[in-house]
Amino acid sequence: MTKTPISIEADLEQSADERQFFAQQKTRSAKASASPDRSAEAHYHGHRDRLRARYREQGDQALADYEILELILFRLIPRRDTKPIAKALLSRFGTLAGVFGAPLNLLQEVKGVGESVALDLKLIATATQRMLKSDLRNKQVLSSWSAVIDYCHAAMAHETKEQFRILFLDKRNSLIADEVQQQGTIDHTPVYPREVVKRALELSATALILVHNHPSGDPTPSRADIKRPS
């Protein structure tokens, strides 16, 4: 039997050709799979640029609520289309105030919102409350009643449990302190007059504003509310 001579050089060349062929296939596959991602990324980055330009040139009146929320989410979620997340948040909580007032655990139930995003949204809400509260400092609170209402609404309107809050005033009716004295259930919070008076004496307060919220959203005083002051 005659054996066919084996060429080592031919085998090496064939092996090299095969490796080159498969390497080219992988490169083409990677380019094909990467192309849609880059296209999508370019799409929402272009959208972000247009939205920022519209806000810069025309102000907030030119934007819907979900677009305002998008502008905020751009910073918090840099590599994702945030329009669906903004719309989902508004769908869940109803308004911008509802979004920023929502508890951390409920914010994180919305798809695309993790702990860090939820914390940043709450930080914005805290900054807003501090801003409104600063408007009451060194002012006669009773002559700035609308500012008091705005602050209390921002601080309490979206709480899921009733709170009993006290604004302590000095003899000029300027704000000394703002404290949540009690937190109750969804439809009740206890009030202890002795503790209210004790704290007022500690702060040398000469006047008080007593505030509590209704998580149900109905501002109508309950029987307990009407009876409580007596």
Please write the tens of the pLDDT for every residue from 148-202.
888 888 778 777 788 888 999 988 888 888 888 888 787 778 888 899 999 999 9
Residue type, 191: V
DSSP of 36-69, one letter per residue? HHHHHHHHHHHHHHHHHHHHHHH-GGGS-HHHHH
pLDDT one-digit tens code per residue, 70-90: 989 988 888 788 899 999 999
Residue type, 125: A
Number of other residues whose CB lies within 10 A of the CB of residue 148: 19
148: which 2 tokens? Answer: 């008091």
99: which 2 tokens? Answer: 């979004």
Q: With bands split at pLDDT 50, 70 and 90, how would you rate the model's confidence at 33?
A: very low
Q: Nearest to residue 209, comparing CAs of 184, 185, 160, 174? A: 174
Q: With bands split at pLDDT 50, 70 and 90, how would you rate the model's confidence at 17?
A: low
Which residue in this structure is represented by tokens 């054996």? 3
Average pLDDT, rounded, for the chain: 78
Q: CA separation (Å) from 18 to 9, 30, 217?
A: 14, 19, 72
Domains present along the chain, CATH in parentheses: 56-130 (1.10.150), 138-227 (3.40.140.10)
pTM of the model: 0.58
Task: Report percent pLDDT > 70 for the chain.
Answer: 73
Q: Which of 16-25, 32-41, 107-116, 144-153 has the lowest mean pLDDT?
A: 32-41
Judge whether residue 22 has pLDDT over 70.
Answer: no
